[in-house]
Amino acid sequence: MAEARLIPQHTEQALRALRDAPMSVPAAREHWKYSKLELARGAITDAPNADAVEIAGVPGALHAMLADSGFCPLTCDLLLREPRIQVLQLTESGRHELKVASAATPTVIQVASGISAEVIDRDQGASAWIICIIEDNATLNYHRLRSTQEVQEWSKLQFVQHRDSEVTLTSFVSAAAFRRHDVSVDLLGANAEFRFDGAAVASARQHIDLQSHVRHQAPHTRSKQRWHTIGQDRATLTYRGRIYIAEQCNGVDAGLTNRNLALGAGVTINTKPELEIYSDDVCCAHGATVGQLDEETLFFLRARGIDERTARRMLAEGFLRETLSGPLADEAAHVLTGSVA
């Protein structure tokens, strides 16, 4: 008897094609337009996990892992290795500290129906691929902080949401020599809701690239995204936020905003919000801004005896604090504002 295949043959062929020639695929070229794919590949190291299990033994895991296989060569490469996965089953409400092995051993978090769970994801010290499957009527509050700067990191965070589920993501990031974060969301069930607030600071030739892809695949789903960044001293910051609304998904309410501050000369900021809509009865909005600190506001503060350096830091901190919330907010404020010159 022939051995059962984990991945169908035609899908495996597509994965191999994207892995081996990623820049020949327009979607992959766009996905990696501002980050070097070889740096992300170099950030993935093997870390054996004795508790890992087979993908086939976790319902919905393979489907979720294939969600971005049309444009993400890294996940194609990892899938073709047929990796074992680390599984965290959340069956009771409460707070959980997350520890992952590496992106080479993806972590699957299963949030059981009807519960309200909170995940704290601090510096992991390694690249990671994390997949959260949120069942009907479940709530997940996911809080992430990356403050270590002496790293080279690629991380992928996915959410697969079923009917009436809610996810709140807060993500606060201090940039590194190379730091790339991908966020992927599939709203599969009616009335599912996703909310995202995030902030990042980069300086001294640091690099951060955030790619968020939210796919509304059921009616009356909702998503709101807000991402604020500050760049200084020849830093490079990139944000690409894509909202996709499938056919027959009326009643969707989706929006995203990306605001960026460039402090000083030599900062590069790339921002690209995108909408792809195939339903008529939807409410959808997006926007992006790139600017500097307001000179009139600076003058107002200095006229009241505040020196220029302190005034600039106050305004930058206020800009970031618009997005800071959750249990990591105070720690994030200290990390992010402390690096603003």
Stretch 254-268: mean pLDDT: 93
Radius of gyration of the chain (CA): 20
| Average per-residue pLDDT for the chain | 92
What is the pLDDT at residue 265?
A: 83
Beta strands of the chain (E only): which ranges? 86-90, 94-97, 107-111, 116-121, 128-134, 139-146, 152-161, 166-174, 178-187, 193-202, 207-216, 222-232, 236-245, 253-263, 268-277, 283-291
Q: Is 125 exposed, middle or buried (0-12, 13-18, 19+ CB in 10 A)?
A: exposed
Quick: pLDDT tens for 94-123.
999 999 888 999 999 999 999 999 999 998
User: Is pLDDT above 50 for 1?
Assistant: no
What is the pLDDT at residue 190?
A: 98
Within a domain: 340? no
For residues 294 and 323, which has the higher predicted lDDT (pLDDT)? 323
Q: Is 39 helix (H, G, I), strand (E, B) or coil?
A: helix
First to last CA, the chain: 66
Strand partners, 30: none
User: Is pLDDT above 70 for 66?
Assistant: yes
Quick: pLDDT tens for 236-246.
999 999 999 99
Q: Whole domain around residue 85: which residue ranges?
A: 9-295
Within a domain: 176? yes
Within a domain: 251? yes
Within a domain: 2? no
Within a domain: 304? no
pTM: 0.94
Highest mean pLDDT range out of 115-124, 146-155, 312-321? 115-124
What is the pLDDT at residue 310?
A: 79
Within a domain: 66? yes
CA dihedral 186, 187, 188, 192 (to 10 degrees): 150
Domain tally, the chain:
1
Stretch 143-168: mean pLDDT: 94
Per-residue confidence band for 264, with pLDDT thresholds at 50, 70 and 90: confident
Within a domain: 205? yes
CA 76 – CA 95 distance, rounded (Å): 32
CA 272 – CA 276 distance, rounded (Å): 13
Structure tokens at 260: 């960026």
Q: Quick one: what percent of the chain has pLDDT higher than 90?
A: 76
Q: Which amino acid is at 13?
A: Q
Stretch 65-90: mean pLDDT: 94
Within a domain: 145? yes
Highest mean pLDDT range out of 50-59, 188-197, 285-294, 313-322? 188-197
Q: Is 15 helix (H, G, I), strand (E, B) or coil?
A: helix
Per-residue confidence band for 3, with pLDDT thresholds at 50, 70 and 90: low
Stretch 177-196: mean pLDDT: 97
CA 170 – CA 277 distance, rounded (Å): 26
β-pairing, 178-187 vs 152-161, is parallel
Stretch 176-193: mean pLDDT: 96
CB distance 43 to 109 below 8 Å: no
